[in-house]
């Protein structure tokens, strides 16, 4: 069930000229509009009438708009609230989205953006809208192997709660985290818990596509628009119509395309390369990056206005090294799955292997754990999984073996310069290298750069120590 034009829209706006303008646009589009100039007047209309959509200015003369929104949702949890704010108070809009708003509009906005926001709100079935916590729908955050949601660490439980809360809104989600932490799975979880779950989920890696082709991949192209364009092709935005568009590594997007993406977010229209007429689409954006987006903005590599349009609900995927016992649970689940696929039987993880896995920094995060467990299952016939079964590449790449020192042990043995005097040079060299590795999370490439060594030289030294 969706809203129809007979159900009034409540417009709460204290600026008379803007109220008149917005009411005129909505009325011309066929909507019935009720208006209020104060929070008290608006709350009275909420109590006395049934309005499925509320357009709410966050700056009102008699009350804070955010507080009013929360009371509206308490009284009418099925209501879709679209908040309106000036650019200078966009943080307030972000706060409102986190508190349950369906969407937000940054003034000044045009007629197209206003009507698109209302249309999107009207398409949300009543039973999928915000509801009191006591009757909130059960989360469908995936727990299957292959993703990062296996585990019970506090960090992952908080993320699952956030996903469940934000999924029902139209808020843009901005996911950050190291490579391999499960950013795409997080985006998919947002999609699958939303009213768009039956629509398409389109993922596009902005860092893996040449910049001169990225615009075509996002917005499509028409036949003959450039060399090689032998047929019309819809882009990812059009393909995601009615669903979710996931833009991975969004900070790698070229400045010109950033401008076009911002325009797309403001108008909900796409113009394929070589086309003259825009096409309207209904898409929710979820994006991700393994870079620091704030730093990218500071350096001028990412548009600030686009950043604030996308960075509504941030989710930071934690690295595996910060998730405690989750690494063991992930490894056990992976072992069970891959054993089944290969028709083999393993008796679980040996206690000394568990210790090694806990000590390891896992620079490749969950993806690396899955690769290691698959390697073990493929190359061995079964039995108890021991440290000896770990792939050699794990040792070479990441400087971890059963006898490797923990970072605090390295620090203890490193000591001061005085403690190094009189020691063999080879021993001093090893202490310095191991301490530097510990400081950089076991990353050989980073350590090699700091120590001005070639990575191959460092790998050879590590391999020699492991055989000692």
Q: What is the pLDDT of residue 130?
A: 46
DSSP states of 179-229? TTS-HHHHHHHHHHTSTTTTS-EEEEETTTS-HHHHHHHHH-B-TTSSTT-
Burial readout 180-219 (b: 16 or more C-beta within 10 A, e: otherwise): bbbbbbbbbbbbbbbbbeebebbbbbbeebeeeebbbbbb
Token pair of 436 as six digits:
């530097």
Alpha carbons 259 and 249: distance in angstroms, whole number? 16
Burial of 16 per CB tally in 10 Å (0-12, 13-18, 19+): exposed
257-261 — which CB contacts under 8 Å span 24+ positions?
257/211, 257/214, 257/215, 257/218, 258/302, 258/303, 258/306, 259/303, 259/306, 260/215, 260/218, 260/219, 261/218, 261/306
Alpha carbons 261 and 121: distance in angstroms, whole number? 21
The mean of the pLDDT values for the chain is: 80
Alpha carbons 291 and 275: distance in angstroms, whole number? 33
Alpha carbons 180 and 321: distance in angstroms, whole number? 12
Token pair of 393 as six digits:
């590449």
Q: What angle do CA 173, 176, 182 make, to 5 degrees?
A: 95
**pLDDT of 146 higher than 70:** no
Alpha carbons 179 and 368: distance in angstroms, whole number? 10
Query: What's phi and psi for 278, nearest 5 deg?
Result: -75, 155
pTM exceeding the 0.85 threshold for the entire prediction: no
**pLDDT of 148 higher than 50:** no
Residues 313-371: tens digit of each pLDDT? 999 999 998 898 889 988 988 898 888 888 889 988 999 889 888 888 888 898 889 88
Alpha carbons 168 and 189: distance in angstroms, whole number? 12
Under the banding of pLDDT at 50, 70 and 90, the label for residue 236 is confident
Residues 191-220: tens digit of each pLDDT? 888 888 888 998 888 887 777 677 788 888
Under the banding of pLDDT at 50, 70 and 90, the label for residue 13 is very high
Strand boundaries in 211-295, DSSP class E: 244-248, 269-270, 279-280, 284-289
**pLDDT of 2 higher than 60:** no
Token pair of 354 as six digits:
């568990």
Under the banding of pLDDT at 50, 70 and 90, the label for residue 15 is confident
Alpha carbons 237 and 285: distance in angstroms, whole number? 9
Residues 48-88: tens digit of each pLDDT? 887 789 999 988 887 888 888 888 887 788 889 999 987 55
Average pLDDT over residues 252-258: 87
Under the banding of pLDDT at 50, 70 and 90, the label for residue 245 is very high
Average pLDDT over residues 27-55: 88
Structural domains in the chain plus CATH codes? 9-134 (3.40.50.2300), 143-318 (3.40.50.300), 319-390 (1.10.8.60), 404-468 (no CATH)
Token pair of 455 as six digits:
């990575």
Alpha carbons 42 and 115: distance in angstroms, whole number? 21
Q: Which residues contact 161 (CB under 8 A, 6 or more apart)?
A: none
Q: Evaluate whether 46 touches 56 at the Cβ level (below 8 Å).
A: no
Distance, CA of 58 to chain centre: 27
- Find where tokens 């108070």 sit: 89
Q: Which residues pair with 382 in a beta bridge?
A: 345
Q: What is the pLDDT of residue 127?
A: 44
- Percentage of the chain exceeding pLDDT 70: 83
């Amino acid at each position: 069930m969706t809203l129809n034009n007979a159900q009034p829209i409540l417009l709460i706006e204290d600026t008379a000229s803007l109220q008149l303008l917005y009411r005129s646009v909505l009325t011309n589009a066929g909507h019935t509009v009720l208006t209020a100039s104060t929070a008290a007047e608006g709350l009275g209309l909420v109590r006395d009438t049934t309005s499925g959509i509320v357009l709410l200015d966050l700056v009102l003369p008699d009350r804070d708009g955010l507080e009013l929104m929360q009371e509206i949702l308490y009284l009418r949890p099925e209501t879709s609230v679209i908040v309106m704010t000036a650019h200078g108070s966009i943080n307030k809009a972000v706060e409102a989205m986190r508190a349950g708003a369906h969407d937000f509009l940054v003034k000044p906005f045009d007629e197209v953006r206003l009507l698109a926001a209302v249309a999107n709100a009207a398409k949300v079935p009543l039973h999928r809208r915000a509801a009191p916590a006591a009757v909130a729908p059960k989360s469908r955050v995936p727990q299957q192997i292959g993703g990062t949601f296996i585990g019970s660490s506090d960090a992952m439980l908080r993320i699952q709660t956030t996903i469940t809360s934000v999924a029902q809104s139209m808020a843009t989600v901005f996911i950050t985290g190291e490579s391999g932490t499960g950013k795409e799975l997080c985006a998919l979880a947002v999609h699958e818990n939303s009213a768009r779950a039956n629509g398409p989920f389109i993922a596009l890696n902005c860092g893996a596509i040449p910049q001169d082709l990225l615009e075509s991949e996002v917005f499509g192209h028409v036949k003959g628009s450039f060399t090689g364009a032998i047929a019309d092709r819809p882009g990812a935005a059009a393909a995601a119509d009615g669903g979710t568009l996931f833009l991975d590594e969004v900070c790698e997007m070229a400045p010109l395309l950033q401008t076009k993406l911002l325009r797309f977010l403001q108008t909900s229209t796409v113009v394929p390369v070589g086309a003259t007429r825009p096409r309207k689409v209904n898409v929710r954006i979820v994006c991700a990056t393994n870079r620091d987006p704030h730093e990218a903005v500071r350096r001028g590599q990412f548009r600030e206005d686009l950043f604030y349009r996308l960075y509504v609900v941030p989710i930071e995927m934690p690295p595996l090294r910060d998730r405690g016992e989750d690494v063991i649970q992930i490894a056990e689940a992976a072992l069970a799955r891959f054993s089944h696929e290969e028709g083999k039987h393993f008796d679980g993880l040996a206690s000394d292997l568990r210790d090694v896995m806990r000590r390891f920094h896992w620079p490749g995060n969950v993806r690396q754990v899955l690769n290691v467990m698959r390697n073990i299952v493929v190359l061995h016939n079964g039995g108890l999984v021991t440290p000896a079964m770990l792939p050699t590449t794990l040792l070479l790449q990441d400087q971890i073996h059963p006898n490797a020192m923990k970072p605090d042990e390295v620090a203890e043995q490193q000591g001061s310069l005085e403690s190094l005097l009189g020691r063999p040079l080879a021993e001093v060299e090893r202490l310095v290298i191991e301490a530097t590795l510990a400081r950089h999370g076991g990353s050989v490439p980073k350590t090699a750069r700091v120590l001005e060594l070639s990575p191959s030289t460092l790998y050879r030294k590590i391999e020699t120590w492991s055989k000692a």
